[in-house]
Structure 1
Amino acid sequence: MRVDGREIPVSGSLLQPRIRRTSDILRVVLSALSVAIVIAGSLITRPQWEALERSVSGIVGFLTPEQSNLVYIVYGIAILALPFAILVRLVRRRHWKLLAGFLSAGLIALGLFSITGTGFSAPRWHLSEPGQVHTFLSQFLDDPRWIAMLAAVLTVASPWLPARARRWWWTLLLAFVPIHLFVSLVVPARAALGLVVGWLVGAVIVLVVGTPALEVPLEAAVRVLAQRGFRVTAFRVLRPAARGPLVLSASTVPQPELSAPPDGAPAAAETARKSGESHSPDNELIIEMYGANQRSRGMLQQFKRWLTIRSGEYPAPFTSMRRAVEHRALMGFAIADLGLASNKPLTVAALDRGWMVYAHTVPQGRPLTAADGEPTLARVWRALHSMHQAQISHGELRAEEIRVLEDGTVLFGGFVQSEFGAYKVRFDSDVAQLLLSSAALFGTGPAVRTALEVLDKRAVLDASARLTKTAVPTHVRKAVPDAGELMKSIREEVAAQTGQDRIEAAQITRFSRNQIIQLVLLIGLVYVAYPYISAVPTFASELRNLNWGWALLGLTVSALTYVGAAMALWACASEAVKFGNLLLMQIANTFAATTTPAGVGGLALSVRFLQKGGLGAVRATAAVALQQTVQVVTHVVLLLIFGALAGTSTNLSHFVPNATVLYLVAGALLGLLGATMFVPKVRKWLLNEVRPQLADVMGQLKDLARRPARLAMILGGCATTTLGMALALWASIEAFGGSTTFVTVTIVTMVGGTLASAAPTPGGVGAVEAALIGGLAAFGVSAGIAVPAVLLYRVLTCWLPVFCGWPIMRWLTAKDMI
């Protein structure tokens, strides 16, 4: 590279990977979305848009035919000359690579609109077409081929054009919309399609060809540093521009002709020259170059944080890349004043083509390593504590940003996410990051112990709650091997050293995972329940013919199912809790199980109740697992028994899939099981979590075999639950005058219960109703009886207990029973 008559060697690649060109990728994505919107709009709402365009055209179309022709002639000449003017400019400036992209974009856009269902269709423009404005120019301008070609070539050339010319030429191209309206014509949908397709073609070509922003303005950086008193003799690329800036090492010598720094030069540069540091021929500076792609990526990250993360978790967003780089330099000065900065900022300046340069001294010391020992780690914690006392947060405490001098002094680098005047949330984030980085080097025990020696116990506890994937910055997590498991180990170590039972993870997102799941489930619930909500008027009209005696019997039997469930769980828990409270918990359990998919909320509530009743966590979980196991076994046995009874008098073939479907399902399940065994996390979960639970349940089952009274109580409770639900449905059918056998209703009810446990909707809403109505119809029950009977059954067994379960759960919570 030659700058002002001097040769400055540059070692290393300055090219940016194509997958990191954020601005160019965004252009392609936005243009593709525009094409999809125009096509969807043309297919869905084209008649409405055409009617609106005709209406607007009738209002603003005030030009006479002669005036319209004149406007078309003037605009047509200008728009025809536009691509040729750009072409001449590219040739004169010898942009041969750009010229190839320019021509390719135009030809591709023309070719795309020339392909029809019958083959390739060439443009057909005629000079002798009669009509008001159907001249050669109007034919030319109304053709989507020309619009697409203009949009494509202008997209390719725009980054290389002067800003003023770029704005005028895009305005000229987009002016076809009002011109069509003024001359009383409708803007054809194909013209809008040509515009967005041309933009997409040009955006893809730009991604291949590149933009001026990819050309690093090193010459301008050399001149800026020369003005600051640093004469660059060579550049060496330390890190190509990718997720972050382009980082270079610059070898410099002092400027002999400058006896004093120019106006505005940093005092740090003058101090360095006076101390003789800049007179060394081997003196180096670190140069960071920020381009347009870093600005685009930063804007996307800021938008993502604003959308997903609570305010205050990150520094306030910056309106421009210039403000972000200046903030980093100012934070470097602030931390240097504390004596904790490993480097000193030298200059910040804006360069050509939207680039920014930030120069600072080479970081002092060496990165923190495991060989430094716990005394050095204690000094790191004290240095961070001093920074926090000055109301400064660091924000990105990776091990490589922590430097150690020969005398043991600890310094910090980075400062990209630093903030002055920070508050507790930011300080907790710093402590969590340092816990993670130090634990990766020294182990969880020494890292936590040293933090507790320097910091307050409350500060370490609050910080450890932020050791989650969302709360810890991405750069910090990626710098640590197996960060997820390490964060879990640190939380356990903090709990052990502080005497805490468990540490709840802090929520830093605007919406928690549970809130998102609940929203999705609510939408799904409304969707699947809508057909049954629409049947409520019919159900209300049928209530006039309801036999209230059978309905009361159904309600009584439904209540008995909770007695059976409480009895089964009471026996599984070895009668260690009060039966009355357990019965109330079963009613509250209905609310928790119905508002969560597959009843997981009910299981969690049962475990929590047993723990509050005095059982340990392992024993409570085993008791609930034992009850569920016996319930499943009882359900399957009863299904087989009643299926055999029903099979003697009823054709059940329509309930059994054909052999092909069964083989496919079995193959898919076996394939899924085999695939999961190759995933290390799944194998670890099966070995460490599932296998101990299964072993405990098997031990409980063996113990039940030796205690027949307890086994009979559990089996009786589980059978009461299953058969009670079937009897409630049978009573509901009889209440509306239906007639069917109890065996048939039991088969239908158990199939519906199986679907309820598998359906992803809360309480199986939608799936259960559909299965019960379809099952009753398959056994000959008319829809006029099946629909109101199933709705009554669901009111008695699901919705009434849900409304009763909510206040009972609140009461149990107030009494500290759950």
Structure 2
Amino acid sequence: MRVDGRDIIVSGDLLQPLTRRTNDILRLVSAGVLLVIVVTSSLITRYEWEALERSISEIVGVLTPTQSNTVYLVYGIAILALPFMILIGLILARQWKLLGAYGAAGIIAILSLSITGNGIAAPRWHFDLSDRLDTVASQFLDDPRWIAMLAAVLTVSGPWLPARWRRWWWTLLLAFVPIHLVVSAVVPARSLLGLSVGWFVGALVVLVVGTPALEVPLDGAARAMARRGFGVSALRVVRPAGRGPMLLHATQDRSADHADPHEDVAIVELYGPHQRGGGVLRQFWRKLRLRDSETAPLQTSMRRAIEHRALMAIAVDDVGLASTTPIAVSALERGWTLYAHRPARGVPIDECADQTPVARLWDALAVLHSQQISHGDLRSKEITVVDGTPLFGGFSLAEYGASEAHLHNDIAQLLVTTTDLYGADEAVAAAITVFGNDAVLAASRRLTKAAMHQRLRQSVKDPAATMASARDEVKRQTGADQITTATITRFSRRQLIQTVLLVALVYVAYPFISSVPVFFSELSSANWWWAVAGLAVSALTYVGAAAALWACADGVVSFWSLTVMQVANTFAATTTPAGVGGLALSARFLQKGGLGALRATTTVALQQAVQVITHVSLLILFSAAAGASANLSRFVPSATVIYLLAGTALGVVGVFLFVPTLRHWLATAVRPRLKEVVDDLVELAREPKRLAIIILGCAATTLGAALALWASIEAFGGDASFVTVTIVTMVGGTLASAAPTPGGVGAVEAALIGGLAAFGVPAAVAVPSVLLYRILTCWLPVFLGWPIMRWLTRRDMI
């Protein structure tokens, strides 16, 4: 490469890998949002659009039909030539790989607007304009399929086009809006549809095929470094641009003024458009997730972020603790940004920890903090040692005028790094010697996964164990009873879970709320003593469930606490599909009660297994007791449905057996858990008393629900045997576990009402009876379960 009369040797692979860049993802999301808005607004306000079109046509329609056709014909010639000009430009530039994407985008855009219910035709979203545009060329160019094709090919070829061409061609395409206004043929719904479809198709094609290598402005980088006194003679590509910047190693001719060879070498980082977009998203995510005191002000561009990094390197170098110094920062062509700096001096700390006392690292950090500078990224790779003096590098997260939160975060990060290198006792002792008990104790509250960023956690061998050992050592050396975790995020995990549960509760309660007026109109004829009896019986189901889980846990946890937890369990199970929230809450409660994670999960699985066995056994028993008079065939699906379900089950089994990944998952994850449950069942068979408690508890859960429904029917004067009500209840419970809605809302009510009607219970009795039953067994426990779950949370029981 020749730059300004100098020959520069370039080695290595400059070709960037095909990648789904951040800008490509954002472009597709933006195009999808625009398409949804255009289609939705056009369908909802179609008549308003037509009225607006006619009114605008009357106001701005100043040209005669002949003048309109002339203007439109001149524009048509330019717009017709546009795709062929792009095609010729790609061929002349030898962009052969792009031609396939170019053609695919154009064809998909045309077809997407051509396929209708009546065959291949253009959609007619507009009123008749034949009196204004009467030429074939005008009607053809007014077709939204043509606009969509142009937008698609322009989007696909945009990354390879010169910026000036790209701006001019997009301006030419978008000019159809004012031209339509001038010729009094404005059709915004149809035109915007074509534009949004074309943009979305082009963005989708770019995301699928990936963005090939953009031209790297190495000549601009060499000129920027030359202006800073570093005359580049050779460039070697160390790493092509991907998730991070393009990294190059630059050298200049040995100068007599530079006695240190280190002065003739530079590290060049080139940040492209992908890194700029990704950096904005990362900043935005940090700002959204973390509190203001934890995050720095947003950088408006990649250049500003790099300038901040270079300025922080200069500030740290002023106190003699920077391992590198910047050479040049410059904005280059096509959205690239240059950051050139000296190579890091010294030996990485993880290679010389034996020769470097840990106290020196803490002394160096104290010097930084005395200048109110925080580093923010104290990994071992960012710390080097020169003649026994620790130096810092990186500075991408450093802050000048740092807040107390940033300073404490530095202490916590160095605690993790030094604990991994030196051990917890030496690291904590040195930290307390330099910063004191109060500062180290406050910083140790940040020894959590949320406070330590991912790169720092990955730099140590076992981050969880390292943070735990450092935290325990801080407690031991400071004499603290406990260390409360610092809240650094705007929303804790607990708050997010509670918010999701509340939203789910509103969602599942909506169908019930809509039927409340009808239900209250029937309450005047209800027998309230039966309703009270149903409430008492439904309360006994929680005692039965608690007894079963208590026996499965072998009496390790408190029976009374388990009973209270069952009410909160109803809230969690109802607001999540298939009741998974209730299972998770039970496992969490057992863990807090002293069981290990694996043992708690196995206990819940055991209780569920016995519950299923008991449920099926009772269903068979009561079905046999009901006999032929119950006409149980109405609950049996048709042969076709049974064959379909059996075939689907066999297909799923075949997929799991023949796909290696799924087969490995079954062998390593599912089989050990299943074996533990089977072993527990075998062990239970040898303990009759414990087995009896579990079976009776599970049976009380099922039969208690049936008794509550039977009492509800009696409250409204119904006449149904307890046996038939039990069968209907168990069928409804089965549907509740299989329904995709939280708590089986909708499916359970429909199944119970239909089941009662099948057994001769009139709808006037079945509907209010089922609603009363659901109030007693579902909605009252749900609304009581929310404050109970908050109470258990405050007492650290879940």
Same-fold status (TM-score > 0.5): yes
Alpha-carbon distance change, 341 to 681 in structure 1, aligned in 2, over 3 angstroms: farther
Structure 2 residue 379 is the aligned partner of structure 1 residue 380 = no
Aligned partner of 2:463 among 487, 506, 510:
487
Alpha-carbon distance change, 32 to 758 in structure 1, aligned in 2, over 3 angstroms: closer
Alpha-carbon distance change, 102 to 510 in structure 1, aligned in 2, over 3 angstroms: same
Distance in 1 between the 2:119 and 2:605 partners?
67
Please, which runs of 5 or more residues in structure 2 have no aligned partner?
Answer: 123-128
- Any residues of structure 2 matched to 1:661-810 within 5 Å, and which? 663-664=646-647, 667=650, 683=668, 702=686, 704-705=687-688, 708=689, 716=696, 718-756=698-736, 763-803=743-783
Structure 2 residue 379 is the aligned partner of structure 1 residue 403 = no
* C-alpha contact 2:293 2:405 (8 A) present in aligned 1: yes
Residues 595-654 of structure 1 deviation map (CA, whole Å, 9 limit, x = unaligned): 566667767877898999xx7446996998887676555444433322321245423334
Distance in 1 between the 2:83 and 2:548 partners?
84
Distance in 1 between the 2:775 and 2:790 partners?
22
Distance in 1 between the 2:81 and 2:567 partners?
80
Give the corresponding residue for 1:142.
142
Alpha-carbon distance change, 22 to 476 in structure 1, aligned in 2, over 3 angstroms: same
Give the corresponding residue for 1:360.
341
Alpha-carbon distance change, 351 to 787 in structure 1, aligned in 2, over 3 angstroms: same
- Any residues of structure 2 matched to 1:618-657 within 5 Å, and which? 634-647=614-627, 649-657=629-637
Give the corresponding residue for 1:296.
277
Alpha-carbon distance change, 244 to 817 in structure 1, aligned in 2, over 3 angstroms: closer
Distance in 1 between the 2:96 and 2:662 partners?
55
The sequence identity of aligned pairs, in percent, is 54
Give the corresponding residue for 1:265.
none
- Secondary structure in 2 matching 1:372: coil
Alpha-carbon distance change, 326 to 86 in structure 1, aligned in 2, over 3 angstroms: farther
Distance in 1 between the 2:603 and 2:272 partners?
62
Q: CA deviation at 1:442?
A: 6.7
Q: CA deviation at 1:328?
A: 0.6
Give the corresponding residue for 1:220.
220
Q: CA deviation at 1:792?
A: 0.9
Matched letter for residue 47 of structure 1: R
Distance in 2 between the 1:90 and 1:570 partners?
74
Q: Which moved more, 1:804-813 or 1:135-144?
A: 804-813
Residues 574-611 of structure 1 deviation map (CA, whole Å, 9 limit, x = unaligned): 88999888766666665566556666776787789899
Matched letter for residue 381 of structure 2: E
Alpha-carbon distance change, 544 to 388 in structure 1, aligned in 2, over 3 angstroms: same
Alpha-carbon distance change, 583 to 173 in structure 1, aligned in 2, over 3 angstroms: closer
Give the corresponding residue for 2:320.
339
Residues 290-342 of structure 1 deviation map (CA, whole Å, 9 limit, x = unaligned): 23332222223233334444434432211112211110101101221232211
Q: Which moved more, 1:439-448 or 1:636-645?
A: 439-448
Aligned partner of 2:512 among 532, 536, 549:
532
Distance in 2 between the 1:29 and 1:564 partners?
51
Q: Which moved more, 1:741-750 or 1:547-556?
A: 547-556
How many residue pairs get matched?
A: 778
* C-alpha contact 1:521 1:761 (8 A) present in aligned 2: no
* C-alpha contact 2:739 2:747 (8 A) present in aligned 1: yes
Matched letter for residue 643 of structure 2: T
Q: Which moved more, 1:302-311 or 1:458-467?
A: 458-467
Q: CA deviation at 1:204?
A: 7.7
Distance in 1 between the 2:794 and 2:286 partners?
37
* C-alpha contact 1:495 1:501 (8 A) present in aligned 2: no
Matched letter for residue 397 of structure 1: L
Distance in 1 between the 2:198 and 2:549 partners?
68
Structure 2 residue 228 is the aligned partner of structure 1 residue 248 = no
- TM-score (norm: length of structure 2): 0.79
- Any residues of structure 2 matched to 1:561-576 within 5 Å, and which? 561-562=541-542, 564=544
* C-alpha contact 2:508 2:575 (8 A) present in aligned 1: no
Give the corresponding residue for 2:406.
426
Q: CA deviation at 1:184?
A: 2.8
Distance in 1 between the 2:682 and 2:369 partners?
54
- Any residues of structure 2 matched to 1:473-552 within 5 Å, and which? 473-477=453-457, 486-494=462-470, 496-497=472-473, 498=475, 508-552=488-532
Please, which runs of 5 or more residues in structure 1 have no aligned partner?
Answer: 123-128, 257-272
Give the corresponding residue for 1:73.
70
Alpha-carbon distance change, 501 to 600 in structure 1, aligned in 2, over 3 angstroms: farther
Residues 178-226 of structure 1 deviation map (CA, whole Å, 9 limit, x = unaligned): 3323433242655434434554676689889999992222222222322
- Any residues of structure 2 matched to 1:604-619 within 5 Å, and which? 616-617=594-595
Q: CA deviation at 1:253?
A: 3.7
Alpha-carbon distance change, 502 to 438 in structure 1, aligned in 2, over 3 angstroms: same
Give the corresponding residue for 1:97.
94
Residues 118-151 of structure 1 deviation map (CA, whole Å, 9 limit, x = unaligned): 99999xxxxxx99554346634642446545654
Give the corresponding residue for 1:660.
643
* C-alpha contact 1:391 1:421 (8 A) present in aligned 2: yes
Alpha-carbon distance change, 228 to 562 in structure 1, aligned in 2, over 3 angstroms: closer
Alpha-carbon distance change, 816 to 771 in structure 1, aligned in 2, over 3 angstroms: same
- Secondary structure in 2 matching 1:383: helix
- TM-score (norm: length of structure 1): 0.78
Structure 2 residue 50 is the aligned partner of structure 1 residue 51 = yes
Alpha-carbon distance change, 370 to 759 in structure 1, aligned in 2, over 3 angstroms: farther
Alpha-carbon distance change, 516 to 671 in structure 1, aligned in 2, over 3 angstroms: farther
Distance in 2 between the 1:208 and 1:665 partners?
32
Distance in 1 between the 2:644 and 2:582 partners?
33
Matched letter for residue 17 of structure 1: P
Alpha-carbon distance change, 649 to 244 in structure 1, aligned in 2, over 3 angstroms: same
Q: CA deviation at 1:418?
A: 1.5
Q: CA deviation at 1:398?
A: 3.5
Give the corresponding residue for 2:7.
7
- Secondary structure in 1 matching 2:19: helix
Aligned partner of 1:348 among 306, 313, 329:
329
Give the corresponding residue for 1:261.
none
Residues 677-723 of structure 1 deviation map (CA, whole Å, 9 limit, x = unaligned): 75679947986x89778877876764x43xx4x76666555544432
Distance in 2 between the 1:206 and 1:598 partners?
39
Give the corresponding residue for 2:125.
none
Matched letter for residue 13 of structure 2: S
- Secondary structure in 2 matching 1:235: strand
Matched letter for residue 758 of structure 2: A
Alpha-carbon distance change, 637 to 678 in structure 1, aligned in 2, over 3 angstroms: same
Matched letter for residue 555 of structure 1: L
